[in-house]
Amino acid sequence: MRIFRTENVKRTVLLTLGMCLLPLLYALANGVPNGEAWYMFPLGFLIMIPFVGIAEEVGWRGFLGPALEEKFGFFFSTVLTAGIWYVWHLDLWVDPTSNHYGDSLIGFGITIFIWAFAAAALYKATGSVIACAVYHAFIDAIGAVYDWNALFDTFPGDVQTNVFRALWLALSLALCFLAKKRQSPSKPIPNLS
C-alpha cells in the first residue's frame, strides 16, 4: 500500500474536495461557532492531516477496510470497520477532559457509520488513502471553529441534521455505486483474427 497512490489525480482531487465541501456547507449553514478565530480551521486542518487523517486512515481504509472487503464484500466490511472505529473512540466519552464527554453515543455512532461509508466510497472511487486522510482531517478541523459535537453528534437531531445525514449517506453510496460500476470489467473484445 502506498499512501499517496491514486489512479487519477484530477478525479481524486475533485472527489475529495466535493466530499469536504458537503460538511463545510452544512457547518456554515447550521453550525454554532465555538468562539475560535477562523485561522484555527486551516491550522487545525494542517495539523490533523498527519496526526489524525494519515494516522487513522492508513489503518481504516489502507488495511482494515480492503482486507475485510475481500472476505465480506463492500457493505458488510464497511459496517464492520465503522463498528471498530466507533469502539476505538469510546474512551473519549468517559474522559471528563474530552470535548466528547457527555455527548450522545448514538449520535456519534450514526456519524461514524456515515463517515465510514463516505470514506470507503472515496477510497473505492480514488484508490487513495491520502484522499481519505484529507477528508477525515478536514471534517475534524471543522471542530476548530464550530461546536463539532452539536453539529454532527446530536441525537435524535433536528430536521436539518437528519436531512444532512441522509444526504451524506446517499451521496456516499452513490459514489460507491459509480466507482464500482467504473471498475467492473467490460465485455471482452472478440478475437477477429
- pLDDT tens for each residue of 20-77: 999 999 999 999 999 999 999 999 999 999 999 999 999 999 999 999 999 999 999 9
Tell me which long-range contacts 20-26 makes (C-beta under 8 A, separation of at least 24).
20/134, 20/135, 20/138, 20/139, 22/167, 22/168, 22/171, 23/138, 23/139, 23/142, 23/152, 23/168, 24/138, 24/142, 26/151, 26/160, 26/164
48, 141 Cβ separation under 8 angstroms = yes
191 lies in some domain? no
Q: Cβ(103)–Cβ(153) under 8 Å? A: yes
Domain assignment of residue 157, yes or no: yes
Report if residue 2 sits inside a domain: no
**CB-CB neighbours of 88 under 10 Å:** 13
pTM, 2 dp: 0.89
Mean pLDDT of 142-167: 91
Is residue 186 assigned to a domain? no
Rounded CA-CA distance 103/90 in Å is: 11
Residue numbers of the domain that contains 168: 9-180
- 46 within domain boundaries: yes
Name which of 46, 17, 1 is nearest 122 in CA terms.
17
In a domain, 104, yes or no: yes
Question: Quick check: is 190 in a domain?
Answer: no
pLDDT digits (tens, 9 = 90+) for 60-70: 999 999 999 99
To 5 degrees, how large is the angle CA 44–CA 118–CA 74?
A: 140
Domain count, the chain: 1
174: CB partners within 8 A, 6+ apart:
none
| Alpha-carbon gap, residue 145 to 91, rounded angstroms | 23
H/E stretch holding 89 reads helix 65-89
Give residue 1's pLDDT band: very low, low, confident or very high (50, 70, 90): low
49, three cell numbers: 492531516
- Structural domain includes residue 189: no
